[in-house]
Chain A
Amino acid sequence: MKPQPPHVQSSRSPFIVGDCALMTIATGTKAQNLREFREGLLKVPPSSIYHHFWGRLLTPRFDEPEYSNDFAAWAYRALHEKALAERLSAVDPSGYDDLEELRIALVDIVEITLDARENVPSARSDQMFHFLRGKLVVMDSEVTIEHPDQLPAVLPGLSTGSVYYHFIDARRRTPDKYDDFCTWLRGWEPDYDHVISRLRELDPFFSSLKEIRRLLTAIFAEPADDRGAVTADALPPGRVARESS
């Protein structure tokens, strides 16, 4: 199959909605204690690091993730290392130029914990960390959007795969790490500048894809005059609406 052109171009051409499905693959690397976890982090392919930050969003899970990546969740649930979990959860992958830098940052955090412990924190044998990797299958959705004003009506009907493809995956495949909606709206400047800034503020780390879809819909559905902030009832319970700058 020949490589296809990107779905979205930075112009007023239609937005061709893509979709995707994730295949999860075991890497064969697993860890029962923190030292093995460190070794695993050093040896797994970069795609595994990516999967445990982002691909996880496309795997079966329930409601809101408590931690922003699988590493942090394991540190808390299996090792009962809350401080380590907090530090790992604070790692923002988009702040790193590539996955190798991200890998080093994770290893540094783990080593700080290892240095501070006399005993190596361990998990039960049935709570090992299994390093996984993903394979993304990208397809068409047969949905095309002609104008940004159509987005509030179209977004709620999109699959979570489409949300992932355009809002998460786009950050990896585009040079400026923008999501596809922002890229497309830049072709309509300056009409949607305020929406672009609202989208750039949306933190996808602690939301499920369904929640991201709901938040995106809320942003696009706001009347132009009100697009200063997402209203409190558009946000998940317990989150505070941010004031626009």
Chain B
Amino acid sequence: MNDILSTYETAVGAQIVAQLRQLGKVLHGARVVHVNSTRYGGGVAEILHKLVPIKQALGLDTSWEVVNGDAAFYESTKSFHNALQGDRIDIPPTLLEHFEATNRRNADELRATLEDADFVFIHDPQPAPLLALCPDRRGKWIWRCHIDLSHPYRRVWRYVRRWVRDYDASVFSLPEFSQELPHPQYLIAPSIDPLSDKNVDLTAREVTEIRERFGLDPEIPLLVQVSRFDRFKDPLGVIAAHKLIDKVAPTQLVLAGGEATDDPEGALVLEEVMEAAAGNDRVHVLMLPPDAHRTINALQRAADIVIQKSIKEGFGFTVAEAMWKGKPVIGGDAGGIRLQVVDHYTGFLVNTPEGAALRARYLLHRRDLLHEMGERARRHIWENFLITRHIRDYLSLMIGLRMNNQERIEVRT
């Protein structure tokens, strides 16, 4: 198991892994459980796939549980997601009852594991009621919110707050997302894994093969947005931006959507996207399976510019992924994208399709700046948004909770 740590020593540097080992010693043997609502699809699941084995290698007894639900459960949680990101959606009482019943059923299955754990991380609202359903819990419970909670629809937030207020701590990606809650609210930015299939270095041949597979012309500049077909990702806005760019200079656009099992709205948005892209040979809409990580990797590497024109965004993993590959990102001026895209340094923050088009045209015209920004983007991610930093923060958080929230914690041996 320690092999995984050696691999990261090579990838990110020995001193960073040494920090993890130091913190891991303090928590050795601690039972840690992560709970979310999907094993595949979406950034949270991707992070947990790597975070769990690394914590295990550091000596923490870590496991990952997934709450199961039917279509109605995911419909309710999708509504939560949209409402917490600001949509005025009233969730019918019958759906709320179903949400609670599903959590009760999951609690029956998970109760023994969760009540026995030293630390339980509940990711997002879907499994939030589990705390109330585990009355004999002995450990510290942390609610990890990955959503842009800056302007939630208050009625739905009040409902979700009922379930999360009794946690020992919550974790948000940005200060703007924090809410009035009776416990400490930690700020931890998410991260990407440099060694995952989605981010690992590829050969030029692999990138060329992807171009050929999807009929992309290597001579025409390529813009890529990778994300679920979700209104908050504004794929229609990206198509509108592409139309504006393409009028001036021929450009290809790839909209590559991953499918998440907890997102019932995706098919509807995809239909609208297909309609908007119809008849334009230079717009490629790709529906990729959840395990198409190397394909996404190659598409991001093939891109001249990566776009992530989200209107709301918790973090924006695809932004970090693209920047890690040395691509400047034109991102929506929203949520966690602001943490990563330093306007005019590592990319551009935009608010409209017109803004995205303007910045893309500028970068395609100024190739020297495009490359400079790309290099800065890669460095920014290396220094701040890799999984090793993320794990260090989680370990520090657990130590902090154990030490009753002292302001200064000495863990020297």
- Mark A residues whose CB is within 8 Å of B: 1, 3-4, 7, 18-19, 21, 23-26, 28, 30, 47, 60-63, 126, 128, 130, 132-142, 157-159, 161, 210
Q: Is there an interface contact between A135 and B22, defined as CB atoms closer than 8 Å?
A: no
Q: In the complex, how many angstroms separate the beta carbon of A88 from the nearest chain B beta carbon?
A: 19
Nearest CB in chain B to that of A5: its residue: B412
Q: Is there an interface contact between B392 and A21, defined as CB atoms closer than 8 Å?
A: yes
Q: Is there an interface contact between B408 and A139, defined as CB atoms closer than 8 Å?
A: no
- Additional A-B contact list (10), CB under 8 Å, known A126-B176, A138-B412: A18-B412, A21-B19, A21-B23, A23-B397, A135-B408, A138-B409, A138-B411, A141-B15, A157-B15, A210-B383
Q: Is there an interface contact between B22 and A139, defined as CB atoms closer than 8 Å?
A: yes
Q: Is there an interface contact between B409 and A128, defined as CB atoms closer than 8 Å?
A: no
Q: Binding site of A, secondary structure by majority: helix, strand, loop or mixed?
A: strand
Q: A residues within 8 A CB of B22?
A: 19, 139-142
Q: B residues within 8 A CB of A21?
A: 19, 23, 392-393, 396
Q: Is there an interface contact between B176 and A140, defined as CB atoms closer than 8 Å?
A: no
Q: Is there an interface contact between B18 and A137, defined as CB atoms closer than 8 Å?
A: no
Q: How far is it, in angstroms, between the C-alpha of A142 and the C-alpha of B17 when the chains are bound?
A: 12
Residue pairs across A and B with Cβ atoms less than 8 A apart, 30 shown, are: A1-B409, A1-B410, A1-B411, A7-B412, A19-B19, A19-B22, A21-B396, A23-B397, A26-B186, A28-B180, A28-B185, A60-B339, A62-B345, A63-B345, A130-B175, A130-B176, A130-B178, A132-B175, A135-B407, A135-B408, A136-B407, A136-B408, A137-B23, A137-B399, A138-B410, A140-B22, A141-B15, A141-B19, A142-B18, A158-B15
Q: A residues within 8 A CB of B23?
A: 21, 137, 139
Closest 5 CB pairs of A and B: A130-B175, A60-B384, A26-B178, A139-B22, A26-B185
Q: In the complex, how many angstroms separate the beta carbon of A147 from the nearest chain B beta carbon?
A: 21
Q: B residues within 8 A CB of A159?
A: 15-16, 19
Nearest CB in chain B to that of A157: its residue: B15
Q: Is there an interface contact between A62 and B19, defined as CB atoms closer than 8 Å?
A: no
Q: How far is it, in angstroms, between the C-alpha of A35 and the C-alpha of B176 when the chains are bound?
A: 19
Interface centre among A3, A4, A137 (most CB of B within 10 A): A137
Q: In the complex, how many angstroms separate the beta carbon of B86 from the nearest chain A beta carbon?
A: 12
Q: A residues within 8 A CB of B19?
A: 19, 21, 139, 141, 159, 161
Q: B residues within 8 A CB of A133?
A: 407
Q: How far is it, in angstroms, between the C-alpha of A158 and the C-alpha of B16 when the chains are bound?
A: 10
Given contacts A138-B409, A139-B411, A158-B15, is CB(A23)–CB(B393) below 8 Å?
A: yes
